[in-house]
Structure 1
Amino acid sequence: MRYLIGIDKGTSMVKSVVFDEDGRTVGTSEERVEVLSPRPGWHEEDPEDSWQACCRTIRGAISQAGIEARAVKGIGIAAHMGGAWIIDKDGKPVRNAVCWPDERAQPLLTELEGTGRLEEAFAISGNGLMPGITLMILAWLNRHEPEVRAKAKAVLGAKDYLRYRLTGGIATDPSDVSFVPGDIDARVHSPKLARLLGAEGWDDTLPEIVASDSIVGEVTAEAAEHTGLAAGTPVVTGCGDAVANVIGAGGSRPGEAITVLGTSCLNSLIVDEPGREPPGLGFLFAMPGDNYLRILPNTSGTITMDWFLDHFGGIRDGAGKWDFRAMEKRVAETPRGADGVLLLPYVNTAGVLAPFYDPRARGAFFGMSNQTTRDHLMRAVYEALAYSTRDCFEAMPGGQEVLTLTGGGARSAFWAQMFADVCKVPIEISTAEQTGAAGVALMAGVAVGIWPDLATGQAKTSSVSVRYEPDPLAAVDYDRWYDLYRDLRETYRGYSARRGELLGRVGA
């Protein structure tokens, strides 16, 4: 039996997964990433600590799988996009890595409003800008830490840094270039865009672009000692986690819609051309081959549920973990519409990127009374994330016949049925597990000859496990509440702007 390893470096966790050639998970290990916040709104990592955590998960996954290292025939890495992992000529980190949730460049982004540069940047890249994209971080470094540029040899993404430590090679792929961002039509870096955003002077530090599914190096002897892998094991370039999750869930054809119900709720549509609709909003990423991924994200995905439970509590099981089955049973007994309570789920301090752009937008519960219970509030949380997904897909051109739901939240039958009822389309759940790691493992499998092409590998490793059809009566109920939700979010945008003015800052 041949095996593959997919590494999924998330914002909060790094995970390594061993798959067999039928796509079954046979070993997995994960470890929390230490987030550093030397100042409010900063989000950094120590690159060495993150690399060591990755090494431990690789060893742990191989151990759990009970296989020999030489049985691993290929490796792929996916990771969160944006940010900046900067190394010097000796391959050492110049400073802590800056990651995509970082807010330090927000004032620079605010300066660009009204200048026409944001619109020009979107025309080049197809991406709405946020403070944590690579070029905004580099612009901030130009202004505040110019000595970093003098020492920099290469500016890498998170997955590119881990792959550099595995193979010693410096490269990136078209999907990560999309969120630097670059020229989405040509799939290359854009010096013009760098100058527009104040990130000039870094052109020679941006790495060579190699196809996501190409073998770009092999595990070095040094990396083998740290990870337990066999030296010489092939490693593919890999891709950003948004693209990897879609591929791992079986998405490959234009028109397919996938929502990753994770920390951020990524509402994605595969397209065959780099369309910019709706203008100025969301993301547009290059996929392997000639396709693209159009994403309108709700930056406050399951982070909204985490926030609610952390601050307002819920039911725990005997091991002290959240008992979602028990909580959903109670929430299901609450009427649709949560007896008139609605939530605007904008709790992420990055604000809202879609279906409108407003870094000042913040969340709010509406419709509470002395009859409101915690169950009402929790149902409002569930419903709000379904409303926000419908809101994003309605802003994209074309309709969706089916929506594939993946991510941790997709394991909830209660929530999946709610998505079907709110969005008024069938919801399909893929059998694929660990879709981010699976996506890059599939690429590695094709590269080393386990499957002849990606479609064959996807057919072998994923299928539809369950399908939820919309309930027509529930859909009619939710239509009414969704209309109110849309009116509320427009009204509260004005309040968020006034709130930001009173506070005197954006990211709070």
Structure 2
Amino acid sequence: MPSLLGIDSGLTVTKAVIFDIDGTPLAVARRRVTQFIPKARHIERDMDELWSATADAIREAITLSNRPASDIQGIAATAHGDGIYLLDHERRPLGRAILSLDSRAGAVIDRWMESIVADQAIELTGQIPHVSAPSALLAWIRDMEPERFKRIGHFLSCKDWLRFCLTGIVGTDRTEASTSFTDVKTQEYSQEALRLFGLQKLAHALPPAARSDQIIGRVTPEAAHLTGLANGTPVVAGLHDVTASALGAGGYAKGVVAVIAGTYSINETLSSEPRVDRRWFCRNGIAPGIWNNMSISPASTANYDWFLDKLCAGERTKGETQGSSIHALLAPEIDAAFDRPSTALFHPYLFGSPYGASASAGFFGLGGWHDRGDMLRAVLEGIAFNHRIHVDALGDGFEFEEARLAGGVSRNPLVVQMFADVLGIPVTVTETDEAAAWGAALCAGSGAGVYADPQSDPRDITRIAKTCQPDAARSADYDKRYRVFRQIADAMTPLWPKIAGLAPEQSVTDEAEPRH
């Protein structure tokens, strides 16, 4: 029976998911990957460990599927975007990979923002450079690690490293190529962009770009031995996880804004022409002539996970002991909190924000009568409010009538309704637990000839989709709460740098618990 393999490698977990060609998940296997934090703002991972963990996950998924590896018709990887994975001239890892949560390049960005580089960058590349962009990280390595810079043979994204390990072929796809160095109008690499960032010496290191569904190689004998895959299985170029999530959730279409609530607050919509603005990235879509407009910040459900880890450890342990979910154990507290008025507000800026790197998280409006349920409600509302900042920005430049919500919180109907009420538009969720992996699998199926194109989802989307309509009264109340949320953030903007200055940056332990 034909099947497809989608690999989804996030910031803490790498997954292998095998799907039947009708879209049914047959097996999922996960492995955690260590995050190293050698000092403040430096967040890294070992590239060989990532490949070993992914290979183990693939082998386990094949076993769990109860189907031979030869049934797999095609493979595609997706992974966290931005950051940098370096190879030397012998095509070996050149130090640890730098993850997209890393912010070591803050001074580089500050310098560019104070010069003409920022304006020239948005005009040429369609986006303002940011701390985890390949351009900023490579400039930091050039300035701070010149010997390492000289040894760069290739620079890749996370998923490109995994496809290299599978096939031995260096390259990327159109969506990932546009993170720093493409001309927004032509959608092709630009030598002028390299010169703009002072990186013209790396012209040789630009990875060749292919369509996300184009077969770029086949599983090598070495990779087959490590993973249990069949030697020669086709591997396509793959795609950025933002695009993969939207594709897998049925939200990769014009007139729709895809809202992915994960570690990052990801909000995106398609257009048939480039339109640039400081509030979003204008990047390549899967096909030529399509642009993916992304408004994002590292400020979404990682905040909720942090709260659960730090303040609900007892319930987590109880749930693990009883075999129940911590979300189910906390549901009565959260439901009760949503049923009563509350002044509690939370800014979900534990790991980053749309307000700059110095912004931090905080509760406002707490009183002695509030309990943990009120705080959990505030965290969830704060996450939705931060998504609204980005959705409203995209609404100024593009037309869309509905949102497609993906991410772990989309499994909770109460949270889905809250997003509809906060955004003020219908919010649809599909029964897709592994949206990014399924988006990758659709590209693999297209390349293998199983589907006509990556958007030919074989599932009956209307049957598996559920739509929440905004409630007028609740939307009006959320508008009021949202305005206060924004006003507090505006008032805090000059204070956040002063708060950050209270604790000078210090070295931290080299190995830390992975962030969610």
Bin the TM-score by the shorter chain.
over 0.9
Q: Which residue of 1 aligns with 2:320?
A: 319
Q: What code does the residue aligned with 1:373 have?
A: D
- 1:373 partnered with 2:378: no
Q: Deviations over 1:303-326 (max 9, x none)?
A: 110222222226444425752133
Shift of residue 265, structure 1, vs aligned partner: 1.7
- 1:141 partnered with 2:141: yes
Q: Pick from 350, 360, 363 the counterpart of residue 361 of structure 2.
A: 363
Q: What code does the residue aligned with 1:371 have?
A: W
| Residues 338 and 377 in structure 1, CA contact (< 8 A), matched pair in contact too | no
Higher relative contact order (CA 8 A, sep 6+): 2
Q: Within 1, Cα distance between the matches of 2:300 and 2:232? A: 39
| Residues 214 and 447 in structure 1, CA contact (< 8 A), matched pair in contact too | yes
Q: Which residue of 2 aligns with 1:192?
A: 192
Q: Within 2, Cα distance between the matches of 1:287 and 1:399? A: 17
| Residues 6 and 77 in structure 1, CA contact (< 8 A), matched pair in contact too | yes
Give the 5 Å matches for 1:276-425: 276=276, 279-289=277-287, 290-313=289-312, 315-316=315-316, 317-320=318-321, 323-335=326-338, 339-348=342-351, 351-353=352-354, 357-396=355-394, 397=396, 398-425=398-425
Q: Deviations over 1:425-460 (max 9, x none)?
A: 111111233111111110111111112223323556
Compared CA separation, residues 433 and 306, structure 1 to 2 (3 A): closer
Q: Deviations over 1:139-176 (max 9, x none)?
A: 11111222223322211111111111111111111111
RMSD: 2.1
Q: Within 1, Cα distance between the matches of 2:463 and 2:435? A: 12
Q: Within 2, Cα distance between the matches of 1:5 and 1:460? A: 20
Secondary structure of 1:100's partner? coil
Q: Within 2, Cα distance between the matches of 1:282 and 1:505? A: 29
Q: Which residue of 1 aligns with 2:239?
A: 239
Q: Within 1, Cα distance between the matches of 2:70 and 2:146? A: 45
| Residues 265 and 299 in structure 2, CA contact (< 8 A), matched pair in contact too | yes
| Residues 344 and 384 in structure 1, CA contact (< 8 A), matched pair in contact too | yes
| Residues 336 and 478 in structure 1, CA contact (< 8 A), matched pair in contact too | no
| Residues 253 and 269 in structure 2, CA contact (< 8 A), matched pair in contact too | no
Shift of residue 412, structure 1, vs aligned partner: 0.8
| Residues 345 and 384 in structure 1, CA contact (< 8 A), matched pair in contact too | yes
Q: Within 1, Cα distance between the matches of 2:505 and 2:130? A: 16
Q: Deviations over 1:55-100 (max 9, x none)?
A: 0010011110011111111000101112221112322112111121
Shift of residue 285, structure 1, vs aligned partner: 2.5
Q: Within 1, Cα distance between the matches of 2:10 and 2:114? A: 34
| Residues 220 and 232 in structure 1, CA contact (< 8 A), matched pair in contact too | yes
Compared CA separation, residues 462 and 473, structure 1 to 2 (3 A): closer
Structure 1: segments with no counterpart, 5+ residues = none
Q: Within 1, Cα distance between the matches of 2:26 and 2:427? A: 27
Q: Which residue of 1 aligns with 2:82?
A: 82
Higher alpha-carbon deviation: 179-188 or 229-238: 179-188
Identity, % of aligned positions: 29
Q: Which residue of 1 aligns with 2:46?
A: 46
| Residues 39 and 507 in structure 2, CA contact (< 8 A), matched pair in contact too | no
Compared CA separation, residues 464 and 488, structure 1 to 2 (3 A): farther
Q: Within 2, Cα distance between the matches of 1:432 and 1:462? A: 13
| Residues 386 and 419 in structure 1, CA contact (< 8 A), matched pair in contact too | yes
Q: Deviations over 1:194-215 (max 9, x none)?
A: 3332333111111111111100
Q: Which residue of 1 aligns with 2:156?
A: 156
Q: Within 1, Cα distance between the matches of 2:2 and 2:353? A: 44
User: Could you tell me the TM-score, scaled by structure 1's length?
Assistant: 0.94
| Residues 219 and 230 in structure 2, CA contact (< 8 A), matched pair in contact too | yes
Higher alpha-carbon deviation: 15-24 or 418-427: 418-427
Shift of residue 399, structure 1, vs aligned partner: 4.8
Q: Deviations over 1:212-258 (max 9, x none)?
A: 11000000111110110011100000011111111111233212111
Q: What code does the residue aligned with 1:45 have?
A: R
Q: Within 2, Cα distance between the matches of 1:130 and 1:503? A: 24
| Residues 254 and 400 in structure 2, CA contact (< 8 A), matched pair in contact too | no
Q: Deviations over 1:448-502 (max 9, x none)?
A: 1112223323556785432212222222222221121121111111211332455
Q: Deviations over 1:340-398 (max 9, x none)?
A: 111111111xx323xxx522222221111222222111111111111122222112224
Secondary structure of 1:61's partner? helix
- 1:470 partnered with 2:473: no
Q: Within 2, Cα distance between the matches of 1:322 and 1:194? A: 48
Q: What code does the residue aligned with 1:301 have?
A: S
Secondary structure of 1:78's partner? strand
Q: Within 2, Cα distance between the matches of 1:219 and 1:259? A: 33
Q: Within 2, Cα distance between the matches of 1:195 and 1:64? A: 49
Q: Which residue of 2 aligns with 1:26?
A: 26
4+ runs deviating over 3 angstroms:
314-318, 335-338, 458-464, 500-508
| Residues 22 and 461 in structure 1, CA contact (< 8 A), matched pair in contact too | no
Q: Which residue of 2 aligns with 1:209?
A: 209
Q: Within 1, Cα distance between the matches of 2:54 and 2:378? A: 37
Give the 5 Å matches for 1:9-20: 9-20=9-20
Q: Within 1, Cα distance between the matches of 2:151 and 2:462? A: 45
